[in-house]
Copies of this chain bind each other. A is one copy, B any other.
Amino acid sequence: MKIRLKDIALKTGFSINTVSRALQNKDDIAKETRVTILNVAQEMGYIPNGLASGLRSGLTRTIAVILSDVANPFFAIMTRFIEISARKNNYAVFVLNSGENQELEEQAISIAMNKGVDGIILFPVQESNRSLILLNQAKIPYVLIGRHFEEERTDYLITDDVNGGFLATEHLLSKGSKQILLLNGPSHLSCAREREEGYRRALAAYGVDYKPELVIRHEITHGNTYSLMKQIILNRCDFTGIFAFSDVVAWEAIYALQEAGIQVPEQMKVVGYDNIQSQLYYPFPLTTIHISKENIAHRAVEIILKKIKGEAEHEYYEEMFETTLIVRASC
């Protein structure tokens, strides 16, 4: 039932080789021959066997996207844009969740290798550099997104998070919040450290004291911010503004605030990060830091494909995308 090159060869009278070359649009094939073969292939509903061609050629036209949690809208949006770009280039994508867990990330990398992917786009957990070691050993092209390792050279695409942290904090200050809770991600994440740096710089620039107890570094897995915020609300509420690591973190915090009857922005001003709302008509007006998810995703695919084809202009692509403040009603 499944059509192979052999079947097309039999039907057209050409050899398997010729059929293969014709279908690959190689140029040492007579035009007529190519047309005949293409037509017959079409008629017979030929679908190439990617396993066989991958095994033989070493290329599978497949990439893996390894991320925290595709149910998180930020990652879902990134995945969507990555898939669009990949598909345009005739590539398919595996999605593998790490759950912000180092071990699962390494497992995901192994799976990707097992599947013979040509490249990997990774939002690294950063609890260790073992993933990079794995990747480098396998000599498989990869691009990091959103997070990067200061001590290692890799391809990476990040956003200007120091600036993002600054802008967010500055805006909170400008709205009259002096006591700003930073609901940050864990400090092993480079982007968390950088946003925190921006936060500190903004406080300093406006002459506001930095209070360590207002900086919370926590795991940013689903539901964790919510639980944490419930506790914080019970214990103390010595702040009037929140700068959240991401929009999703902001949502969870606001959810908890709402349950406690605390109004945003009247009683609490909140700024998020990522501008998920640029891709989701979500009916809660969250002030946030915009990053161009589409451009980053597109660029990641572009770079990975260059690396795969050996057409890279640089040894390492290290690019930073701008961050801008989007003001909505939450602050």
Contact = CB atoms under 8 A, between A and B. Distances in A.
Interface in A279-327: 279-285
Interface of A: 1-2, 45, 47-52, 54-55, 60, 62, 69-73, 76-77, 79-81, 83-84, 87, 92-97, 110-111, 113-116, 137-139, 222-223, 225-226, 248, 251-252, 254-258, 264, 279-285
Contacts of A71: 73, 76-77, 79-81, 279-280
A92 B111 contact: yes
A116 B51 contact: yes
B116 A50 contact: yes
Nearest to A95: B95
Nearest to A45: B137
14 contacts: A1-B137, A2-B138, A50-B115, A51-B55, A51-B115, A51-B116, A70-B76, A73-B73, A84-B97, A251-B281, A254-B283, A258-B283, A264-B283, A282-B282
Nearest to A76: B76
A206 to B, nearest CB: 28
A71 B281 CA distance: 12
Closest 3 CB pairs of A and B: A76-B76, A71-B80, A254-B283
A300 B40 CA distance: 37
Nearest to A80: B71
Contacts of A110: 47
Contact of A83 (B70, B114, B252): B70
A114 to B, nearest CB: 4
A282 B2 CA distance: 47
Contacts of A226: 281
Given A76-B70, A92-B115, A95-B93, A255 B282 contact: yes
Contact of A115 (B62, B95, B248, B285): B62
Most B CB contacts (10 A, CB to CB) among A256, A257, A264, A283 go to: A283
Contacts of A113: 47
Given A79-B95, A282-B282, A116 B49 contact: yes
Contacts of A47: 110, 113-114
A284 B281 contact: no
Given A47-B114, A84-B97, A264-B283, 8 more contacts: A70-B79, A87-B97, A92-B94, A92-B111, A255-B283, A258-B283, A258-B285, A282-B282
